[in-house]
Chains A and B, each alone.
Chain A
Amino acid sequence: MNKSYAEQFYYLMKLGRVFELRAKEEYMKGNIGGFLHLAIGEEAVHVGAVLGFGKGDIFVHYREHVYALARGMEPKNVMAELFGKVTGVSKGKGGSMHLYDPKFNFYGGNAIVGAHLPHAVGTAYARKYLGDTTGVLAAFGDGATNSGNFFEAINLAATWKVPVLFLCENNYYAIGTRIDRASPFTDLYIKAKEYMPVKQVDGMDVFAVFEAVREAKEYIETEGKPYFIEALTYRYEPHSMSDTGDYRSPRELKIAKERDPIEHLKRVGIERGLLTEEYINFVDNKVEQIVEEAVRFALESPEPGEEELYNDVFCEVCTDVIS
């Protein structure tokens, strides 16, 4: 592990954390509407996965701000999307759950659990068909592994032999239903192991996630086949801002927070000489500024114009019809 990676981990994880804490505040103020799903506590998985995966298409779920930021999407355009502004990455029409940017090979942000898994398989098929061996990353939660989408997607990926990395973020809860009440076993990699190689990693350790994803990426691209990683993680916040989260005990939360991924990275990074106090301080100040600027940008940005209501439903204007 080189120093530059550890620095990138810290920068992106801290940016993600500060961005989301601020999004929570802005939600409480009424500047962000609808649903807001925070990934606080899960940053090691999101950042480790994006950096470990490198080049290639990414399909994720609705808890995706940190993925988007780690992919390089501008914090101000992501924040503006949360604010529903025209400067948002989806012109204010998608919101928190639907961040898209093909420039970054980033395809959502899907609000139907597991629905993006067949998309990832199809895109991997298309890339392979067009002679591109680059893999595709599909990240999803533990809840998705109980859905038909998941089983259909792993079956298709293994049958068609396409390079998809299935990354399961097991945070143990599908909203308020703990995994053992929804699945006969709680080690979720078991569900994929007859279809593809599987691995379980500590999702609170960004180094472990990064290494596992990097190895898996190499496998899927060399072999042209899928791979499954289960990252054990924890979300500190309730499922969304409208969830009280009272199905988890304070003790459980306290134990989880003792393994905070950012604190872990700081400690290990300094121990191994990969991070310095100076760098950490520098980043802590820097991300505050970036997020402050993102909020200012979002607040000052205009709303979409009224004409935007009808734009983007279809790409082809149907001039032939008079109605």
Chain B
Amino acid sequence: MLYREALNKALDEMMEKDESVVILGEDVGFYGGNYKVTEGLYAKYGGKRVIDTPIAENSIVGTAIGMAIGGLRPVAEIMTVNFSLLAMDQIVNQLAKIRYMSGGKITLPVVVRMPQGVAKQLAAQHSQSLERIFASVPGLRVFVASDATTAYYGLKFAVSIDDPVIFLEHELLYHEKMEIEEEKNFSPYRARIKKEGDGITIVSYLKMFHDTMKAVPTVEKELGVSCEVIDLCSINPLDVSTIANSVKKTKHLVVVTEEPKTGAYADEIIYRVIEDTFYELDAPPLKICGEDVPTPYNRKLELMSIPTPEKIATEIIKWGKKHGI
């Protein structure tokens, strides 16, 4: 199975179960989705439930809000997170605030799905990670899906709750082969410990989770300690306790995200965790992020602008040696 097929399966099952679930976005219907996430759903459910929209991101989210007011459970697809910047009024001023401003009288069960991150040579306007923006807006749940399991269960969870959810995927994961592991009582609010260890806690999500896992054998070999790798399924809310409990055991915290380093969401993770664990840390936390540059087109420069498995390993080893791990 491919990552995108896990998302498709989640959508299909939710649509099958509940007629109020509809999908809308650019090319989602007849065309089958630009990343094929909605492939086959138009044929199965028809154009009234898999709704093709014009290129009007603001109104894709805006009409999804109206649909929710009218009794539906819309799943809006913004083709990539880069275009969500055109929908920021509807996401930030409307979707996130209407429930509160109405004193709880209006609920908006809207999911806005979109891929983010650096893919391959798409240049600066198609290569951003914007989770920090969404995570900092009260009123939005922000879920991230690193693999087929969290894509499948996380998206089903997002569609089933009555709160607005920003559901972030990664462009380079869509065509990755992976399987859905059966999970009972899945909750995106719980971070997943994907690899146990007792020397260093490493937190990441989306593609950086996979790159971290690739870096770990080198790190463990070089530093002679085991790493505990935590994958987040939600960044707002953030499961601080799972990370903090791990850090209390390992005494070391590393956070890896793809976004540019200034004002990164990684900062928030580190701060929230060290509030609880400051006196138990044996070293300052390490933050590994992208560079503060618009993503370059040139492949060599592009790879220099983001963490890669090699860079993650190198940075952790350097930091580990400096602090006596």
Contact = CB atoms under 8 A, between A and B. Distances in A.
Interface string A85-120: 000111111100010111000011110100101111
Interface in B60-77: 61-72, 74
Nearest to B20: A130
A321 B141 contact: no
Interface string A118-162: 111111111101100000000000000000110011011001100
Nearest to B60: A118
B66 A125 contact: yes
B136 to A, nearest CB: 14
* Tier of interface size on chain B: 35 or more
A94 B105 CA distance: 11
Given A112-B94, A118-B59, A125-B67, A98 B101 contact: yes
A102 B141 contact: no
B1 interface: no
Contacts of B94: 110, 112, 115, 119
Contacts of B272: 323
B294 interface: no
B70 A322 contact: no
Interface residues of A, number: 51
A315 to B, nearest CB: 5
B66 A315 contact: no
B93 interface: yes
A126 B70 CA distance: 5
A275 to B, nearest CB: 36
B58 A148 contact: yes
A184 to B, nearest CB: 22
A95 B63 CA distance: 24
Interface in A31-82: 57, 59
Given A322-B241, A323-B272, A102 B62 contact: no
A311 B103 CA distance: 8
A153 B74 CA distance: 17
The secondary-structure label for the interface of chain A is mixed
A94 B100 CA distance: 8
Contacts of B107: 315
Nearest to A120: B66
A323 B59 CA distance: 35
A310 B161 CA distance: 19
B105 A156 contact: no
A69 B143 CA distance: 40
Interface in A269-298: none
Given A112-B89, A118-B90, A312-B99, A323 B241 contact: yes
A1 interface: no
B163 interface: yes
A315 B67 contact: no
Contacts of A91: 103-104
Interface string B127-170: 00000000000110100000000000000000001110000000
Contacts of A315: 99, 104, 107, 162-163
B270 to A, nearest CB: 14
Given A123-B67, A125-B66, A321 B237 contact: yes
Contacts of B89: 112, 115
A312 B71 CA distance: 19
Nearest to A125: B67
B184 to A, nearest CB: 14
Nearest to A118: B62
Contact of A121 (B66, B98, B141, B187): B66
A90 B63 contact: no
Nearest to B48: A129
Contact of B103 (A59, A148, A312): A312
A313 interface: yes
20 contacts: A89-B103, A91-B104, A94-B101, A94-B102, A98-B102, A100-B98, A115-B90, A119-B69, A119-B94, A121-B59, A122-B66, A122-B69, A123-B70, A125-B51, A126-B72, A127-B70, A152-B54, A156-B63, A160-B51, A314-B139
Given A119-B62, A153-B62, 20 more contacts: A90-B101, A94-B101, A94-B103, A100-B105, A112-B94, A119-B65, A122-B62, A122-B64, A122-B74, A124-B66, A125-B70, A129-B48, A152-B58, A153-B59, A156-B59, A159-B54, A311-B104, A313-B99, A313-B139, A321-B189
Interface of B: 20, 22, 48, 51, 53-54, 56, 58-59, 61-72, 74, 89-90, 93-94, 98-107, 138-139, 141, 161-163, 187, 189-190, 234, 237-241, 272
Q: What 5 A-B pairs are tightest by C-beta distance, nearest first? A: A122-B66, A126-B70, A118-B62, A91-B103, A122-B63
